[in-house]
Each structure stands twice: as C-alpha cells, then as structure tokens.
Amino acid sequence: MEKFKPERKSATVEVVGGNISDQERIINHQEFNFLNQVRLKNEREKTTEELELIREINERLREFINQYGGQYIEVSADNMHFFTWEDIDTETKSEFLSKRPDFTGFEGKFSPDDQSIYIIHEEKTHKLKFASTLVHELIHFMAFNSLSILKKEDKKLTIGDRRLGFAVKKTKGRAYYFNDINEALTVELELEFKKRYFDKISLTAKLEKERQRLVKEFKSDLNVLDNEKSAIDDSTWIEKISDGRYRYMVNVYNEEVNKLRDLIRDIFENNPDEFNSLGEVFNLFTKAYFTGRLLPIAKLIEKTYGKGSFRELGENTKSKDEESLL
C-alpha cells in the first residue's frame, strides 16, 4: 500500500488508502481545518488567565512530547473551544442531553475531524480539573492520529478514523479497539506532565499547592470516612465548600488506569530477561501510542499470553460506541 508521510501540520499524521495524491489532499484539508478554526455558537471568550495557561502548557508540551518520541505541534487557543454549561441556550442544551443522557456537567473531547478540542464545563468546575483536561486533550492531539480513505467516487473522498494513539478502528464498525488502553495511557501521560510541570506553571502551581494542603486536611479530618480518604490520590480534585464539607472528584478513567498498571506489571514479571523496570514496559506502550507502530507490543503480548491474545486484548478494551469520551 502506498503511504504519504509528511511533517506534522495538524493532528493527522497519516492517511491510508487511495493513491498518494488522494492522501495529500486529505492531509492538506486537515491542515486547512487546523489553521482555520471558526468560533462556534455558544462558545465563550477565553479569560486572560486561560490564555496564559495555554501558553505555559504549550511551552512545556514540546519537550514532553518529544521526549516520548512523539511529534509536537503547537495547538493555538483558537483550536480550543470552551463552553460554560449555564450559558448555553436551552435548545442546544436539550439537544446535547438527548444524545448524552449521562452527561455530568463536565466533558473534554478531542475531535480529529475538526482539529479541535472541546471543553464543556459548569461554572463551579475546579480550575485544576480544567487545566488537567486541557493537557489530556492536547496529548490526544499529539498522539499518532491516522485516517483512512473509505470510499472514492469521482473526486469525492469519504474518510474515517483509523488510529487514535493506541486505539484502532476497523473500516467497518464503529468501535475503537484498545480504547481503554488508549485512555489509560493518556491519563498516565497527563499525570506525568502534571508531576513534572504543574508546579512551574503559574496558575496550576498556586492551585496545586492549595490542593495538596486540602488533601492533607481531608485525610486528617475526623468527620471524613476512611473509605473516602483512601479514594483520594494524585488525580483527585478537591475543594472545600464550607466548614467540614468538601467536594472532590476522582479521575473518570481510574479503573482503566489500574487495569493498565496491572497488565504492565504482569508483562514485566513474565519477561524477567527482557526488562529492567516497569518503566521500560510502559515506554513500549507509549512508543506505540506516539508512533503508531503496534507490532512490538503485539509480539510481546502474544509471547506472554499466547497466540491470539493481542486481538483478544483489543476486543476486551474496545469502546462501547463511536461517541465514547476522549
């Protein structure tokens, strides 16, 4: 199969199918989308604080993404679309809720088609959660993103997602295989980014200090139940809403993250001659996430768990439907 591999000019780094000029057309079209973002209905103005936050995150992401073997691209504030839930008009709200009945007042999404990041949030949303989500979606943006040409009629090309980081989509069907692993990896990278840089970014440094102080206070509060205390970790957002009352939120992908950690530990323990640390196994996953090359991981999984086990892992970690959270 012919392949066209340009420098990264948008989230899309590869197009598969058709001929080289078809692929080039799609790459150029995606670049056009990337550079020509339109302000959307109900989209709010970004605050000066957010513009500074975006600038400071971008400044660190280059080094971070390059270190993992990924291809950095500066995503401008125009590619990020923010919506305050309370300010959205009633009609749009009910239309949105009819499609997403499980909406809990906060959502981040990266759309490779639009070359955009969307964040819908309630006014009360913790700013640290907002900043973390922004980092999370930007990491999705800079993962290996690939499209396939599904159909060509005269000059009209129909395209579909093929790869999003570690997740794989078949040309037929809507589900992303390995979706849970893809999300878990994105969260792990997001946590690593926070650990390395959030104390150096002006807004998050201030908020992170306050968060850590509150976690301490929460854990020593006699009125808080032990099982609540043990639910709090590095990825928890916590706020004090009144005396003795806290509001906190754990990462939605905690279960997927724990499963990935178990898998990595298990691979490590089953291949004592191949790896010196858990980090080495993790890096193999992130390499696939950023470069698109799944083969080394596939081989390792099959070697560890037997023939057909990689495909099985893809099945067991696939998304429920296309509209799954990113």
Tell me if 286 contacts Zn ion by CB under 5 A.
no
How many CB atoms within 10 Å of residue 104? 9
Contacting Zn ion within 143-162 (CB under 5 A): none
Please give the single-letter amino acid code of residue 141: F
Cα pseudo-dihedral 5, 72, 125, 230, rounded to 10:
100
Of the candidate spans 22-30, 91-99, 179-187, 196-204, the one that interacts with Zn ion by CB under 5 A turns out to be 179-187
Across the strands, what pairs with 118? Answer: 81, 109
Please say which residue, 23 or 133, places its beta carbon nearer to Zn ion: 133
Across the strands, what pairs with 240? Answer: 246
Q: What is the DSSP letter of 151?
A: E
CA nearest to 62, candidates 173, 243, 193: 193
How far apart, in whole angstroms, are the C-alpha atoms of residue 291 and residue 274? 21
Sheet holding 80-84, edge to edge: 80-84, 116-121, 106-111
The CA radius of gyration of the chain, in Å to the nearest whole number, is 21
Of the candidate spans 26-34, 52-60, 182-190, 279-287, the one that interacts with Zn ion by CB under 5 A turns out to be 182-190
CA nearest to 33, candidates 162, 147, 176, 155: 147
Please say which residue, 140 or 287, places its beta carbon nearer to Zn ion: 140
Please say which residue, 142 or 215, places its beta carbon nearer to Zn ion: 142
Minimum distance, C-beta of residue 187 to Zn ion, in the bound complex (Å): 7
Please say which residue, 34 or 253, places its beta carbon nearer to Zn ion: 253
By CB under 5 A, how many residues form the interface with Zn ion? Answer: 3
Across the strands, what pairs with 95? Answer: none
Of the candidate spans 48-56, 177-185, 208-216, 266-274, the one that interacts with Zn ion by CB under 5 A turns out to be 177-185
Minimum distance, C-beta of residue 137 to Zn ion, in the bound complex (Å): 7
Tell me if 142 contacts Zn ion by CB under 5 A.
no
Please say which residue, 26 or 135, places its beta carbon nearer to Zn ion: 135
Minimum distance, C-beta of residue 62 to Zn ion, in the bound complex (Å): 20
Q: Which of 146, 186, 251, 286 binds Zn ion (CB under 5 A)?
A: 186
How many CB atoms within 10 Å of residue 87? 11
Tokens 């679309």 -> residue: 81
Cα 12 to chain centroid distance, Å, stands at 15
Please say which residue, 23 or 186, places its beta carbon nearer to Zn ion: 186
Tell me if 326 contacts Zn ion by CB under 5 A.
yes
Tell me if 235 contacts Zn ion by CB under 5 A.
no
Please say which residue, 119 or 313, places its beta carbon nearer to Zn ion: 119
Please say which residue, 148 or 186, places its beta carbon nearer to Zn ion: 186
Q: What is the DSSP letter of 175?
A: P
Of the candidate spans 23-31, 73-81, 99-107, 318-326, the one that interacts with Zn ion by CB under 5 A turns out to be 318-326
Minimum distance, C-beta of residue 176 to Zn ion, in the bound complex (Å): 11
Binding site for Zn ion (CB under 5 A): 183, 186, 326
